[in-house]
Every structure is written in structure tokens, then in C-alpha cells.
Structure 1
Amino acid sequence: MLTLDHLAVLGETLEEAVGVIEATLGQPMLPGGKHAHFGTHNQVMGLADGLYLEAIATDPAAPPPETARWFGLDTFRGEARLDKWICRVPDMEAALEALPMAGRPVELSRGTLEWIMAVPEDGQLPYDGLFPALIQWLSPVPPGTTLNGSGWRLTGLEIRHPEARSLSRLLSPHLTDPRLRYVSDETPALEAVFEGASGERVL
């Protein structure tokens, strides 16, 4: 039911989030756009296997949204970091019946892209934000398949959390991906490993 779609680096500013990705992978990010509904903006980078990286932050030029911002950006503080992972679903209604803690469905669009995102009322995903955000692409071709490749391939994603076993049990019936590892750790965090022509990089 769930397929890994993309990873998101959050920052207090978009420049900080972009800077972390570019410094780690040595590739420039591509222009993204604005999300008026949530008052955020982003930039993107294509990866192998139809995946992509997103840098996202609150847009200081946008008016405050009427609802909580997605990805917990209303309360995000500190250094820019890999903070969210997003999984694609074929049917959001069915996905939320199975995983209601993911939030409520919100229909969104930007340019030629249309999608449905599951967003909790307070913007805060379960498991200290490490529960995957769910997305259903309504556009016939998802962004990950059209972005120019950066030469990097995701080879591993660690989800570290004190309740990692609980999260694994919850998601395992719906998500099978050999790159994922759930690791018990006192400090919630994500760590992604990428491989490219210049070797291995960790974000």
C-alpha cells in the first residue's frame, strides 16, 4: 500500500535546508515552488529509482495559513536536517482507514501537479514527527519520475526512535522496502545513506 516517494529536509529558512543538501551531495537543487495553503516553499533534487529530495521551510512572504502548517513547520527549530519521509499511496481513503493517525486528507495543486496529502490537525505527525507523511499523486506522472537525476541513489534510511519497534509493527503490513531500518534510539531522528560516483554520503 505504501511506497517511498521522497525525503524532506526542513529548515528555519529555505536557504538553510537547501544548503545542507547541497553541501552533503555536492549538487545544486532545482527550483520548486510555493504552497499557498500551508504558507511554505521548497526546492527539489531528483534521485535514482523515481525518488527525490525536498528542501522545505516556512515562506516568510506568505500570509499565515488558516490551518497548522504541514510537517510540523510551525514549531520546527534548530539546524536544518533530514526530518520527514513521505510515502505514496494509491488510494488515500483506504490508506487512512488503515492508518488514521496519518491525518486528514487535504487536496492540493501547484502548476500541473495535483495531489492529496494526509496532514494531522495540529500539523504534527505521530512518533515525534517520524511517522511517514502520506501522499496520493493525482497527476499522471509524479515529480520523482520527471526530475533530472542528480547521480545519487538512496541505499538506506534509518528511522531512529525510542518506540521504533512499535512503529515497525504498525507500518510493516503496509510497507516493504529493504532500504528501511527501524532503530531503537532515545533521540528521534532520520538518517539517509546515498551512493554516487564520488562514493557514499550521509544526510
Structure 2
Amino acid sequence: MLQTSIDHLVITAASLADGVEYVRRALGVTLETGGEHPRMGTHNCLLKLGDEIFLEVIAVNPDAPRPVRPRWFQLDELAADCPPQLATWLARTGDIHAAIAASPVDAGVIEPMTRGRLNWLISIAADGKLPLHGIAPSFIEWQAATHPARKLQDLGCSLIRLEAFHAEAEQVDRMLACVGFQGAFSATAIAASEQPYLVAHIQTPAGLRQLGGPAAYAAK
């Protein structure tokens, strides 16, 4: 039976330093260095949010050659003065081919990716666009016995719930139902004139904090 769950949240930023500072101010913790993605020309930093959930800050790697295809997470569209934002999330599955086939929302095509010794399969649109403006997830299937979040330092942060706001919220609900999603996620309908956005509620050593929200998207 097909099952999916929240794997990780994605903060996009014009630079990795900007993204890390945004999270530090919001959550009061400093992320650890992740690594580089050779196929995409990007690099990241990470924060553990659970045994198999983490937060990723990702940005264009200025020292890497430009890839021959559009970068993922719409990073090619970020202006130099664009503030960091909670752009999207990834749903983990043990069968990414089945998840893609079952989803009524186009999540892209399956691509193999690497970061250091890590290998995984991920769904990415050919043009780098995000499913339903990032409110619907892309899919990921790790090719490792141990989830990478288990190897991250525990700074006392955990994801409590993820909320999505989109004019077509019912599409997200239908997609998740079709791929057997289970997790603390809700989608709420907003006016078609409003910009969609995500809000992550995260427990930290300093109390409950939030990432995302409409202000970040409006500033884009």
C-alpha cells in the first residue's frame, strides 16, 4: 500500500548565509553544513526536526558551474534581494514511481540526485517550477538504509505541524489522499487574489516558533 509522509521543509534563499541567518533569527538555532548538489549547482545547510524530518536551507552555489537545466525549487528566479522563504516541502515515499503515477497533481519527473555519499530519487519539473506554487509537495525516495536526519545534530527542534494556504487547497488534499499521506499537515483555501504560502510550527528550546507566512511571499 502506497504511503507518504513529510520528509523535509525547504527554505530557498539568494545566498546560503542569508537563509541560515533567517532561520537563526526565527528559531534561535544555527544550522549545520550539508553539502553540494553537483547536478543542480546548489548547496545547503540542515536542521534536524525529528528522527526522519529535517529543514533544508538551499541556495545557488556561486562556486559551482551553472547546470545545463533549470535548477530545482525555482532558484534561478530568485533576485539577489529576495528574502529567504519557506518555499515548499518534500513528501517521502518508498515507491516514488507509484507516487508519481497516483498523484493527480503533476509533481514532475523522477531524477537521480547526490550530495556527497547520499543518493536519492526526487520529482522535479523540467522547468524547475514547484507543484501548486510549492504548496503541494514534490516526492523523494532515499536510497539509504538510514534516513539522513538521524545523522544530524539534535538541537531540540521538532516540527509540530505544517499549514498550507492556497486558492485550490482541495487539490492538495486530493493529491495527498491519493498517495496515502499521513502527517501533521492541513491545507486551507484562500482567495484567488491572495498569494499562496506555507507556515511551519516548530518547537524550539525557546518555545514554539514559526517559519513562513504571507509576509515572506508578499516580499518576493
**Helix, strand or coil at the partner of 1:121:** coil
The TM-score, its normalising length taken from structure 1, stands at 0.94
Amino acid at match of 2:208: E
Hey, what does 2:198 align to over in structure 1?
190
Distance across 2 between alignment mates of 1:57 and 1:122:
17
Of 45, 49, 67, the match for 1:43: 45
Question: Aligned with 2:94: secondary structure?
Answer: coil
Q: RMSD between aligned alpha carbons?
A: 1.5
Q: What residue in structure 2 maps to residue 16 of structure 1?
A: 18
Code of the residue aligned with 1:25 in structure 2: it is L
* Whole-angstrom distance in 1 between the partners of 2:156 and 2:135: 27
Q: Is the contact between residue 160 and residue 189 of structure 1 (CA under 8 Å) also seen in structure 2?
A: yes
1:24-54 Cα distance to aligned partner (Å, 9 max, x none):
1111110111111011110001122421111
* Alpha-carbon offset, residue 168 of structure 1: 1.1
Match of 1:154 in 2: 159
Is 1:27 aligned with 2:48? no
Structure 1 distance, partners of 2:102, 2:181, is 16
For structure 1, which segment, 19-28 or 167-176, has the greater mean C-alpha deviation from structure 2 after superposition?
167-176
Matched with 2:88 is: 84
In 2, Cα distance between equivalents of 1:111 and 1:158: 32
Equivalent of residue 103 in structure 1, options 108, 116, 136:
108
Shift of 1:72: 1.2
Q: Which amino acid aligns with 2:198?
A: L
**Offset at 1:178?**
4.6
1:8 to partner: Cα distance: 0.9
Q: What is the rounded CA distance, in whole Å, between the counterparts of 1:35 and 1:5 in structure 2?
A: 18
Query: How far has the Cα of 1:155 moved from its partner?
Result: 0.8
* Residue 175 of structure 1, CA deviation: 4.1
* Pair 143,39 (structure 1): closer, same or farther in 2 beyond 3 Å: same
| Residue ranges of structure 2 left out of the alignment (5+ in a row) | 212-220
| Larger CA deviation: 41-50 vs 165-174 | 165-174
CA-to-partner distance for each residue in 1:51-79, whole Å, 9 max, x for gaps?
11110011111111011111111113421
Q: Secondary structure at the match of 2:23?
A: helix
Conservation of the 8 A alpha-carbon contact between 2:99 and 2:179: no
